[in-house]
Chains A and B, each alone.
Chain A
Amino acid sequence: MHDFRFRLACARSLLGCCAWVLLAALGTLGLCAPAWAAELPTIQLRSALAAPGGEGRFPTDVRPFEVKLPDRWADTRPGFDGSLWYRVAFGLPPGTAGPLGRGELLAVSIERVCTTYELHLNGQLLHRAGRMTEPLAYHCNQPQLVTLPAALLRDGVNVIDVRVAGQRVNELASESSAGGLSALLVGPQPVLAAVHARQQLGLVTLPQAMAATLVLMGGFMFVLGFVNRRDSHLAYFGALSIGWALLDVRLWLRGLPLGHTVVEFLLCSLLGFIAWAAVQFLLRYAGIRLSWVDRALPTQAAVMPATLVLAGGGQMHAMATLWYAVLTLEVAAAAWFYLHWSARSASGGRRSRGLMAVLMAVVAVAGLTRLIDPWSVERWTVTLAVSLLTPLVLVIVGMRLVQQQGRALNVAQQDKKELEDRVREATAEVESKMRQLAELRVEQVTERERKRIAADLHDDLGAKLLTIVHTSESDRISTLAREALEEMRLSVRGLTGKAVRLADALGDWRAEVVSRLAQAGIESEWEAPEDLPQRLSARAYVQTTRILREATSNIIKHSGATHCAVNARIAEGDFALVIQDNGDGIGPDVEGRLDRGHGLASMKNRAKQLQGQCLVESGPGYGTVIRLTLPLDRAAEGS
């Protein structure tokens, strides 16, 4: 989020700077017709004598005719190919020129001359802009300033001859390269230098700067889009920017060694590629990929130059105009399509849609103004607007794309982080499950081992004891063997058994105690809470069972009681069991009776082993009370 805001701030400040620069430039250039103070007046020469001719001097063998400046060859002589001489004259007040003159430096300023020219003053060659024969140097977009050396000036009438070389209109791709000469301004050099500087800025420097920006930005975008297939619209935008910048390549390269037809042809073909890039950018930005469009556009870009070649140099202009119309329609259609789509879909938001619509309108206007007559006086304002607006628009769009990229990158990063988190969670879960499984398996193995031991005990020891029980002649031995067998069973249970619910244990105990007492003819009372949720470990269960059995046996065998009450409850986290009988009680001579003494001692011992205690209160005539207390948390732990 911070990243996105930062980028937005950057973009905004950049736009602000651009706006200021623009304002400053416009301010210095002035929007209205400049009025400058002068000592010597500036003369505007609006008519000239013209005669076609070759090198050397103003032709004398042909009758010159009068022309009005600016002279547009596209209008006056569209089929003319070659060079045309213009003669203008101006007068200087006596005493201005010459070594005794006022020493003013004069200059002549030509706003626009196409395609190239040379200038003579009073018969002397002063300046040649470039090659005057094929291939011509290209100076159509370059305002000219030629200083008139004081030595050549005369008092009175001075003659300036301008030889302009140009090309047939129908061999040119657009009329902006058609030949012509604008009105000449003669005046003090400093004054005209200022005019020239303004013109230079607006017609050459700024467009050059914008073109350079476009190339850089376009290159950057192209690489971004090329690297990431998903952002192919960026690549097309980059290509569009670079293409648009390349259209003005003659701002830099004036003396191309290629023939004019070739250059015109190349620039016209470039438009085919530009249209391709523009349409694809608009469609891809809308997220639409049409396979027939993908095939048709490159085909068109290849076909266009072919048709130009086939049409031949003579039909270049006509073909080019036709193609311009077609391409413009295509791009307009793509633009309409994009706006239509973005109006329908919610993504992008109204703000983005509005912005893009405005930008496209600006481009459309700029495109239309390119059709404006390049020879009009207000030309340089218009050209300024065109040369600045369109690239500006492209820069804005470019920055917007960068912004979107940044946002998309942020979202992608967030998604990636989320995914990583989820993967980590899942891994942790899987690990914990694996650990649980491992623990379970260990438990299983232990249990299996125990079961095996139990089975062995039952089979061997149990069988032997059983035999003793049923084949011994001594009752006592039978009883002992039986008790031993029961002990063995209990021990095995303690070894292999799982934890037991206290409620279940109480059920087991009740059944055994009550039925045994009933068989011995003793009334019994059993009080215990129901559904106790606590658990006893197998060992605690077994030991408590033993204690109970011992107590019950004592009551049956020795107490002579007729009634027995058992009470079980939970008190302060402990399990409390109270067995009370109304028998004779345990006499003081208990130590003497081995088995009874042993029984009581073993009960107390077992209770202690379970971290509990077993208290016996007894007395003759009082009966016996056995209080067993077991802490439940420890009793519930594994054996």
Chain B
Amino acid sequence: MKTILLLEDLPEIRAWLRKLVLQIFPGATISESSRIGDALELVAAVKFDLALIDLGLPDGSGVDVVTKLRDIQPDAQSVVVTIHDDDEHLFPALQAGAFGYILKEQPREMIAEQLQRISQGEPPLSPSIARRVMQYFSAKAKPAPNNAPGIPNVSLTDRESEVLLRVAKGYTLPEIGVQLGLSRHTIADYVKQIYRKLNVSSRAEAALEAQRLGLFR
């Protein structure tokens, strides 16, 4: 029995999502909201298993809700459901701790399948997102002059870098599994790890920045 949060401002889409979610997770408790403020309150009050979050909301970006969910309820899975497919929008959400993303305009079956897969622990990874992640971690690999103790400096393992590289080249995850002699599940685990590390590293960065700003203020 899952508790699910829906954050979406277009009412028709919200209704449609609700129908879809109930189809996939029958009997789930669904909380809906169309504003970030309400969503943040809900996150503070209710324990969720899954959150479907739209990015483009009238009073801000859904990334804030992703961040807050990550902070308060690390076990909850947040999935970004968005119209944007470019890494400009998706990468920050992933950095904030989103578990995966779904493109809104796809046909129902596709969305259902993707949602299923995400909840089973197989988040999607597109070539452009993979490139972005690689860029991010290679920039982090350079020694930071002010790395305060206690803030983890995460980096990717060789395997993880390997997976990212192949995704960037356009290989699908099953193909990569075949190439590296690993099961699909293992590859999915790697992707999950990559996202987690991205989140941890980004949060550390944010904390450091806040600390520095705090010092100067």
Contacts and interface: CB of A to CB of B under 8 A. Distances in A.
Given A486-B105, A493-B86, A511-B170, A466 B127 contact: no
A90 B131 CA distance: 130
Interface string B137-174: 00000000000000000000000000000011111100
Interface residues of B, number: 25
Nearest to A515: B172
B105 A469 contact: yes
A462 B54 CA distance: 13
A510 interface: yes
A321 B133 CA distance: 98
A168 B86 CA distance: 117
B181 interface: no
B52 to A, nearest CB: 14
A510 B172 CA distance: 9
Contact of A482 (B12, B16, B107): B107
B106 A470 contact: no
Contacts of B167: 511
Interface in A464-492: 465-467, 469-471, 478-479, 481-482, 485-486, 489
A507 B83 contact: no
A503 B165 CA distance: 12
Given A458-B83, A511-B126, A467 B105 contact: no
Interface in A441-473: 458-459, 462-463, 465-467, 469-471
Contact of A508 (B10, B16, B84, B127): B127
Nearest to B113: A519
Interface string A510-554: 110011001000000010001000000000000000000000000
Interface string B19-37: 0000000000000000000
Contact of B171 (A458, A482, A509, A510): A510
B209 interface: no
A466 B13 contact: yes
B85 interface: yes
A557 to B, nearest CB: 15
Chain A interface size range: 20 to 34
Contacts of B104: 466
A5 B115 CA distance: 92
Given A458-B84, A511-B127, A482 B105 contact: yes
A462 B103 CA distance: 12
Given A458-B56, A482-B105, A485-B105, A507 B13 contact: no
A457 to B, nearest CB: 10
A417 B172 CA distance: 66
Interface in B153-204: 167-172, 175
A504 interface: yes
B73 interface: no
A268 interface: no
Interface in B88-127: 104-108, 126-127
Contacts of A515: 172
B107 A478 contact: yes
Contacts of B13: 466-467, 470
Contacts of B126: 508, 511
A507 B169 contact: yes
Contacts of B106: 482
A469 B104 CA distance: 9
A184 interface: no
B172 A466 contact: no
B128 interface: yes
Contact of B12 (A467, A526, A530): A467
Contacts of A511: 126-127, 167, 170-172
B56 A459 contact: yes
A478 B12 CA distance: 14
B105 A466 contact: yes
B106 to A, nearest CB: 7
Nearest to B174: A518
Given A466-B13, A485-B83, A486-B105, A507 B127 contact: yes
A514 B170 contact: yes
Contacts of B131: 504, 507
A506 interface: yes
Nearest to A504: B131
A108 B126 CA distance: 129
Contacts of B168: 504, 507
B170 A508 contact: yes
Contact of B172 (A471, A493, A504, A518): A518
Contact of B83 (A462, A506, A530): A462
A508 B125 CA distance: 11
A459 B61 CA distance: 13
A482 B171 CA distance: 25
Interface string A43-71: 00000000000000000000000000000
B80 to A, nearest CB: 15
B163 to A, nearest CB: 14
Contacts of B108: 470
Nearest to A469: B105
B105 A465 contact: yes
B12 A470 contact: yes
Contacts of B83: 458, 462-463, 466, 485, 489
A509 B105 contact: no
Interface string A411-424: 00000000000000
A471 B16 CA distance: 8
A465 B13 CA distance: 11
Contacts of B128: 504, 508
A493 B84 CA distance: 11
Nearest to B89: A458
A486 B85 CA distance: 10
Contacts of A530: 169
A471 B56 contact: no
Contacts of A465: 105
B12 A510 contact: no
A467 B104 CA distance: 10
B85 A489 contact: yes
Interface of B: 10, 12-13, 16, 56, 83-86, 104-108, 126-128, 131, 167-172, 175
6 contacts: A462-B83, A481-B105, A489-B83, A504-B128, A508-B128, A510-B171
Q: Which 8 A-B pairs have the closest CB atoms?
A: A510-B170, A507-B170, A507-B127, A470-B16, A511-B170, A485-B105, A507-B169, A467-B12
Given A503-B169, A510-B127, 20 more contacts: A459-B56, A463-B10, A466-B10, A466-B13, A470-B16, A471-B12, A482-B107, A485-B83, A486-B105, A489-B85, A504-B128, A506-B169, A507-B131, A507-B168, A510-B169, A511-B170, A514-B171, A514-B175, A515-B172, A518-B172
